[in-house]
Structure 1
Amino acid sequence: MSGGVGESSTVNRERGRTITVGETMATASATRPGPLRHAGLLELSTAGAESTVAIGLTRLGHDCTYLTRVGDDELGRLVVTTLRGEGLDLVARVDESRRTGLMLREQRTSGRVRGEYWRAGSAASALSTGDVDALDFDGVSLVHVTGITLALSPSCAGAVERLVARAREVNATVSLDVNHRDGLWSRADAATALSRVVASCDIVFASADEVELLGVTTAEELLEQGPSVVAVTDGGGVATVTTAAGTVEATPPAVTLVDPLGAGDAFVVGYLSGHLDGLAVEDALARAVSVAAVGVSTRGDWEGLPRRDELRPGSRGRLTADEP
């Protein structure tokens, strides 16, 4: 289960390749609102922060490699089949001694979705520096990592740090989504591990409380730790991007909230796509909030992410009139 299949768009391939690493879980989602125990039917799909970014960037025409591990089981085959079907360059190591992670999704109300994770000891939690060392870094211009994979296990943290180090060796841009999960580690442990990575990052994505997790109170202060771009979101309101030149902000378009899970990953997709396209900061931010709005107005973490032909040329990366 390694390597990529399917045709990937070559739009923007001249701008280089993106690499990201993480865990993609199988998901079993309730088909109607209410407690999971009364759902009746569950739908199978997949979910994972980094794979959502990989799918989103691929749909927008960027060349993206995604590294993960899966179990030698049906859920692992579901993950591989799904990701390969999206056309990204998939490197999936099969771990015969561990299971693929699983998330149960409960649609508690029409606009409120909760996830219950069964991922302890999963195949992806055994990702290692050796997996990263086996990757081809030829032509890589962007590496994207998240705090989720840092938190999964010591070997995963080592894989993330090795990926960032390799990115620095090839002069690739490094992007970090803090993506803190209380259920995975304490804020103190998160702050220590993330601080080591932030110093080597160029772009940092965080919510307002995650900025404080990094030991500062403002995006401007976070810039002093090393990044050149800090993007801050507040859960659907005004999003900002701060650089040495100042701060720009954008308000997402009004949409009907269907599924808030994956909103932050969709925002990252939009901004990184704009970055890869060479857009100005304010235009990349406009694309980010637009893609995030689509993400929350459709079911699933990644299923509704837009494709390149849904972006309106010359309009700062926003979506076409078909947007919700």
Structure 2
Amino acid sequence: MDVVTLGETMVLFTPEHAGPMRYSDRFSSRVAGAESNVAIGLARLGVQSGWMSRLGNDEFGKKIRSFIRGEGVDTSRVIFDETADTGLFFKEKLANGEWRVKYYRRDSAASRLKPEDLDESYIAGAKYLHVTGITPALSDSCYETVLSAIEYAKRHDVKVVFDPNLRRKLWPEHKARKVLVELVRKADIVLPGIEEAEFLFGIGSPEELARQFNEQGASTVIMKLGEEGAYYLTHDTERYVEGFRVTEVVDPVGAGDGFSAGVLSGLLDGLNLEDSVQRGNAIGAMAVLAAGDIEGLPEKDRLIDFMHNRGQGDVER
């Protein structure tokens, strides 16, 4: 296995028409979750990826596992919970570029993840462990599970990749800040957005904020800057990598997950860090051109074509 990740995936319902949901009577359903988005993005790029979680033993849980497995992701470490339900959420489009999300995930099956659910040998067999700041926000047992997964990775020289993926609604800000910084200290590669960096360390330039992450212990910091691209910092190099500007954002959700998949796939393909970050920028741009969390994540031939023809169509560089 190249990359393993863990976290909650839910069924997403979206009204067919824009406007407040109270006026909607028809909804489409999709499968969405930050960590499984990354795993799917990697699988489409030819990377062996695995996703660990708990799902309710209900139709929604079966739908999620079937869908993710159908995308080529290994789901052999997914556990079905007989006593808790699969989480759901709704995303309404109020106007162009304006979305509102409502979650129904309290006491979901995934929130009951516990360290005993992990298979140490499964993590040990990977090259990267990918975790986000969403999972530890779900419950104390989820927090302990993330710490255990990182401990197993460290024990077997598996690199830890951490995306803070801040969700303010899930926990108090003081607790979020404390836990996210704790996880930064345990990670090898950190993938924050500029807003998340400011949440953790205050207002500053990308260079100043990246150094804060570096001083906490992360050897590689790759900061997402939206359409401006990204900035990375290691112990011996730093650089801005220009982004791909899109003419219209259809759906911004999932762009960061696509970025993570792009960077990790580049590193696994033997690209240098700059080229890997450029790949992440490209997939992030492609992700916002399609509705849904994973619909815009490309296979490798389409990604290469997109990057070679970046001055045409809906994207410019």
Tell me how far 1:74 sits from its aligned partner: 1.2
1:153-172, aligned counterparts within 5 Å?
153-172=139-158
Paired residue for 1:3?
A: none
1:219 aligns with 2:219: no
The unaligned stretches of length 5 or more in structure 1 are 1-15
Q: TM-score with structure 2 length normalisation?
A: 0.91
Q: Is the 1:253–1:290 contact (alpha carbons within 8 Å) kept by the matching residues of 2?
A: no
1:202 aligns with 2:185: no
Tell me how far 1:323 sits from its aligned partner: 7.4
Name the amino acid aligned to 2:248.
T
1:1-324, aligned counterparts within 5 Å?
17-90=2-75, 91-133=77-119, 136-215=122-201, 217=204, 218-244=209-235, 245-312=237-304, 318=307, 324=314
Q: How far, CA to CA, are the matches of 1:312 and 1:181 in structure 2?
A: 32
Tell me how far 1:248 sits from its aligned partner: 2.4
Cα 1:83/1:230, change in 2 over 3 Å: same
Cα 1:210/1:145, change in 2 over 3 Å: same
- More divergent stretch after superposition (178-187 vs 33-42): 33-42
Q: Is the 1:311–1:320 contact (alpha carbons within 8 Å) kept by the matching residues of 2?
A: no
Name the amino acid aligned to 1:227.
A
Cα 1:271/1:185, change in 2 over 3 Å: same
Tell me how far 1:289 sits from its aligned partner: 1.0
Tell me how far 1:275 sits from its aligned partner: 1.7
Number of equivalent positions: 306
Q: How far, CA to CA, are the matches of 2:175 and 2:308 in structure 1?
A: 39
Tell me how far 1:319 sits from its aligned partner: 6.1
Q: How far, CA to CA, are the matches of 1:19 and 1:274 in structure 2?
A: 16
Q: How far, CA to CA, are the matches of 2:247 and 2:218 in structure 1?
A: 32
- More divergent stretch after superposition (44-53 vs 200-209): 200-209
Q: TM-score with structure 1 length normalisation?
A: 0.89
Paired residue for 1:7?
A: none
| Residues 117-145 of structure 1 deviation map (CA, whole Å, 9 limit, x = unaligned) | 00010000001101113652353110000
Q: Is the 2:124–2:158 contact (alpha carbons within 8 Å) kept by the matching residues of 1?
A: no
SS at match of 1:302: coil
The unaligned stretches of length 5 or more in structure 2 are none
Q: Is the 2:243–2:282 contact (alpha carbons within 8 Å) kept by the matching residues of 1?
A: no
Cα 1:92/1:198, change in 2 over 3 Å: same
Name the amino acid aligned to 1:226.
G
| Residues 280-315 of structure 1 deviation map (CA, whole Å, 9 limit, x = unaligned) | 1211111111101111110100122000222328xx
Tell me how far 1:213 sits from its aligned partner: 3.3
Q: What is the root-mean-square deviation of aligned Cα atoms in Å?
A: 1.9
Cα 1:98/1:318, change in 2 over 3 Å: same
Write out the 4+ residue segments of structure 1 that deviate beyond 6 Å after TM superposition. Answer: none
| Residues 90-132 of structure 1 deviation map (CA, whole Å, 9 limit, x = unaligned) | 1221111111000111011133222110001000000110111
- Percent sequence identity is 38
Name the amino acid aligned to 2:191.
F
| Residues 198-233 of structure 1 deviation map (CA, whole Å, 9 limit, x = unaligned) | 112111111223223333651012111111211212
Tell me how far 1:194 sits from its aligned partner: 1.8
Tell me how far 1:320 sits from its aligned partner: 5.7
Name the amino acid aligned to 2:254.
G
- More divergent stretch after superposition (28-37 vs 64-73): 28-37
SS at match of 1:122: coil
Q: Is the 2:124–2:152 contact (alpha carbons within 8 Å) kept by the matching residues of 1?
A: no
Q: Is the 1:140–1:170 contact (alpha carbons within 8 Å) kept by the matching residues of 2?
A: no
Higher helix share: 2
SS at match of 1:318: helix
Cα 1:158/1:31, change in 2 over 3 Å: same
SS at match of 2:134: helix
Tell me how far 1:150 sits from its aligned partner: 1.1
